Amino acid sequence: MPEQISTVSSTALRSFIAACFQATGMPEADATTAADLMTKADLIGQDGHGVFRLPMYIRRIRAGGLNVNARFRRVQERSATALIDGDNGLGHLVMHHATELAMEKAEKTGIAWVGARHSNHAGPASLYAMMPLKKDMIGLYIAVGSANHLPPWGGTEMLLSTNPIAVAIPAMNRPPIVLDMATTVAAYGKVKTAAQRGQQMPEGWMIDRNGDPLTDPARAAEGFLLPIGGPKGYGLSLIFGILAGTLNGAAFGRDVIDFNADATSVTNTGHLILALDVKAFADPAEFRHGIDKVWEEMKSSPLLPGVKEIRLPGERLQRVLAERSDTGIPISAPLRAQLAGVASDLGVDPL
């Protein structure tokens, strides 16, 4: 039976999400900002990180696990750095605030690094890395993932998360280069999708507690995700966790709360955003042309047999953004039903 998919315009989705957040008591301006970012996640094709997460956010808010009236506080500040306490607010709002601050600082100092603690899940990493693009800045975002899915290399206790990184770099006539990746071969969402579809996973995504390949996604709970490049990906996950977690006084390692399994404990999620002003290094137009040249060069490489084209990171994102801005955002029937339940609970008009 094919999955039922209907589409919704970004305007309608944005209004719906904002109405839901407002119904929980979130101030209108914050509800609008959050709705805007979550809709953007869907517009750029990050289906697992947009409105798909709304039911969980609402559940956490109603369970008292997320503060809709969060007041952000600068715990530490220097001219090019800050540490924000997110007061257990929605991650999107914390990181939107942190990124605005980083851009404001980088305008003066050339670079800024803003960390956050007592935050929550903030959607896709690329949302924040891309914000500085409009100021001719490069953005870099790192987060401690919201559940642990892999052990240190050689171990069996899941002490690390997929700790993602996103970097966005402006181009001139080409789309920006936007890398958005987990430090594991597959994100956990891909395992869930394979399970839903009854498909096997390729070797290399997961291993079991004996170190053998695990290819049946129904057995995912018996194993762990594998980091990219083995010990290298373990090292990246560890370093990113320290920079986004430990350094900010946020959770890392055994302290990480699985936010899907536990809706009430304070997650103390940590993230960081770095904004780097291209103008502090180069003429922005010249640099952007240089990035176009990188595009042309990579695209011009001869291809391996069976490969249709070289892609650059962020290329698919831009294509999906253009398509969905035009034709709307696809919503599966089960998600639409879930969202109808949320609407009914909150007393807002359904999508």
Q: Which of positions 178-197 make contact with a copy of itself (CB under 8 A)? A: 179, 181, 185
Q: Which is nearer to a copy of itself, 89 or 241 (CB)?
A: 241
- Residue 231, classified by CB atoms within 10 Å of its CB into exposed (0-12), middle (13-18) or buried (19+), is exposed
Of these, 11, 69, 76, 344, which contacts a copy of itself (CB under 8 A)?
A: 76
Q: Which is nearer to a copy of itself, 53 or 117 (CB)?
A: 117
Tokens of 348: 């807002």
According to DSSP, the β-strands at 177-181 and 206-208 are unpaired
Per-residue contact track with a copy of itself, 91 to 130, x per CB under 8 A?
Answer: -----------------xxxxxx-x---------------
Least separation in angstroms between CB 146 and a copy of itself: 18
Applying the rule CB under 8 A, the residues between 243 and 272 that interact with a copy of itself are 243, 246-249, 252-254
Q: Which is nearer to a copy of itself, 35 or 106 (CB)?
A: 106
- Residue 41: what residue type? A
Of these, 43, 291, 331, 339, which contacts a copy of itself (CB under 8 A)?
A: 291
Applying the rule CB under 8 A, the residues between 4 and 43 that interact with a copy of itself are none
Assess contact for 51 and 38: CB atoms under 8 A: yes
Least separation in angstroms between CB 51 and a copy of itself: 26
Applying the rule CB under 8 A, the residues between 124 and 143 that interact with a copy of itself are 138
Q: Residues of 278-303 as b/e, b for ≥16 C-beta within 10 angstroms?
A: beeeeebeebbeebeeebeeeeeeee
Residues in the chain, how many? 351
Is residue 225 part of the contact set for a copy of itself (CB under 8 A)? no
Binding range to a copy of itself, per CB under 8 A, among 13-21, 51-59, 234-242, 324-332:
234-242
Least separation in angstroms between CB 47 and a copy of itself: 19
Least separation in angstroms between CB 175 and a copy of itself: 14
Of these, 134, 210, 261, 347, which contacts a copy of itself (CB under 8 A)?
A: 210
**Which residue is it, tokens 């018996």?**
222
Q: Which is nearer to a copy of itself, 313 or 330 (CB)?
A: 313
CA distance 193 to 201: 10
Q: Which is nearer to a copy of itself, 36 or 315 (CB)?
A: 315
**Which residue is it, tokens 């989705």?**
13
Of these, 14, 149, 277, 317, which contacts a copy of itself (CB under 8 A)?
A: 277
Of these, 1, 29, 71, 79, which contacts a copy of itself (CB under 8 A)?
A: 79
CA atoms within 13 A on the CB side of 67: 16
Assess contact for 144 and 250: CB atoms under 8 A: yes
CA atoms within 13 A on the CB side of 6: 8
Applying the rule CB under 8 A, the residues between 295 and 334 that interact with a copy of itself are 297-298, 300-307, 309-313
Binding range to a copy of itself, per CB under 8 A, among 13-21, 56-64, 141-149, 235-243:
235-243
Closest by Cα among 264, 6, 250 to 117: 250
CA distance 119 to 105: 21
Q: Which is nearer to a copy of itself, 115 or 123 (CB)?
A: 115
Assess contact for 32 and 40: CB atoms under 8 A: no
Q: Residues of 332-349 as b/e, b for ≥16 C-beta within 10 angstroms?
A: eeebbebbeebbeebebe
